[in-house]
A and B are shown apart, each in its own frame.
Chain A
């Protein structure tokens, strides 16, 4: 007797190939909360973020842009609501926009060379990527619809909101982020991009 005779219609179909066997295994990583692998992060409320942003703006008004940049990079919002995270991103971008192009590299170098500075530059890299991913880098907390626009099949998602004036400010914000990105890679190397990708602490 060959075992082939025991085949039924259901075993001959390909449906069993799509069974997710990980879901049936109690030990599998799918049935496991991966966040328990890391020590918990302190939670930041929206009020904390507002207070911090107030301090950063004050430093910025006082002309201490390096202090302002350090201030927001030393307190990244890892564990908080999306609103709090976005608010902090806006502050970081505001600070970045206020710094002149000629000051970028010396300032980054000073931060990188200071104690624990490479960590701060890695945080900056995370905010740069978050800013670029969001697509809306315009200041003043104005949310452009670009953010939730799904890209068209053609890939020309920008065309949809061409008539709006927001597009230009988005482009300007993006060019600031891109030039910062270039400077950060010059100072902290490709390693900072690596850490930005591997890190489980998302901003």
Chain B
């Protein structure tokens, strides 16, 4: 396993991050702005700053094909940033929500994006040619609380959403004139807008922090605040799922996760490191961490300890060893975990960002 590539950008929390398709640009949500970093050698240098929101930016996503950037913020707005020779041009999107926008992701087709909000709705936004602006339709029922996360099915019609009412749900976001009629799948055949294709809750029912469709789109995983991961295998429309597998871990809750193939999930969260889960419809289990323990180069290990220094430390801090650093690469909660490099659903590299202001690229 190659050692992780660590980029310590600043000493502020990173709410969300996104790499461009060529991985030369990194967009990072920092406070009320989005910072764009360009790759220079092995490091990332600040290149541009997208200022347009006046409250904390909660989500950022770069569309891989078109290069458009969508951002959302607690100021209840979403902006689409169009790349142009003179820089990025923002366009306001009419979300029609009265509470903060919490999460945003482009659909795989890049013709739509979904914005989760504290207003108990998901705004599905698409571009209306005749009026030349982005409009939104609301997924409303039966959401009872803030949407914390969304994830798109590969067909760009189905959308999974996690909520603080402890449910993970699968909706249809079919929009006439934008989407092609989707192939029938385990989630359903006819899928008009706001069809609820599935609604899931695990036993201890914490807030859902992350949802993810498997690469085929035929299974759904969600991570909740009860330190669990639940994987749902639906059997068909209007039928109970063929299997719901829940793994209650001994760890702290997971904030974000991705699938690596159909039988592996990588998740990270409050434990500041990424963990690997493996399994299938008959059972899942935690198989270990992706952090290489006892790495050399942890600060404090290599420092020469003189007797004078030792007594100085004891006098100043009451102890000899400096143990203010975690043994993990991230020094605080990981909030976003994304695919960095992968093909056909299997992930060879993924990136994480968190409260400690670091973006780290890992190989699986």
Contact = CB atoms under 8 A, between A and B. Distances in A.
A198 B144 contact: no
Interface residues of B, number: 23
Contacts of A34: 144, 165
Contact of A37 (B167, B224, B228, B250): B167
A190 B227 contact: yes
A118 interface: yes
B250 A188 contact: yes
A191 B227 contact: yes
B205 A199 contact: yes
B250 A38 contact: no
Interface in A105-136: 118-119, 122
B203 A190 contact: no
B144 A201 contact: no
A189 B249 CA distance: 8
Contacts of A192: 250
Given A119-B248, A188-B250, A194 B201 contact: no
B251 A198 contact: no
A200 to B, nearest CB: 6
B225 interface: yes
Contact of A29 (B144, B226, B248): B144
Interface in A162-203: 188-192, 194-195, 198-201
A192 B227 CA distance: 8
B92 interface: no
A190 B251 contact: yes
Contacts of A200: 166, 204-205
B207 A198 contact: yes
B328 to A, nearest CB: 15
Nearest to B201: A38
A191 B251 contact: yes
B251 A199 contact: no
A31 to B, nearest CB: 11
Contacts of B201: 37-39
Interface in B143-180: 144-145, 165-167
The DSSP consensus for interface residues of chain A is helix
A195 B204 contact: yes
Interface string B224-251: 1111100000000000000000001111
A37 B224 CA distance: 16
Name the residue among A29, A37, A119, A192 with the largest chain B CB count within 10 angstroms: A37
A37 B166 contact: yes
Contacts of B167: 37
A27 interface: yes
A146 B249 CA distance: 36
A191 B205 contact: no
Nearest to B163: A37
A198 B206 CA distance: 5
The 10 A-B pairs at the shortest CB distance, nearest first, are namely: A189-B250, A198-B206, A191-B227, A199-B204, A194-B227, A198-B226, A195-B226, A195-B204, A191-B250, A191-B249
Nearest to A186: B250
B205 A189 contact: no
Nearest to B166: A37
Given A37-B165, A198-B207, A189 B251 contact: yes
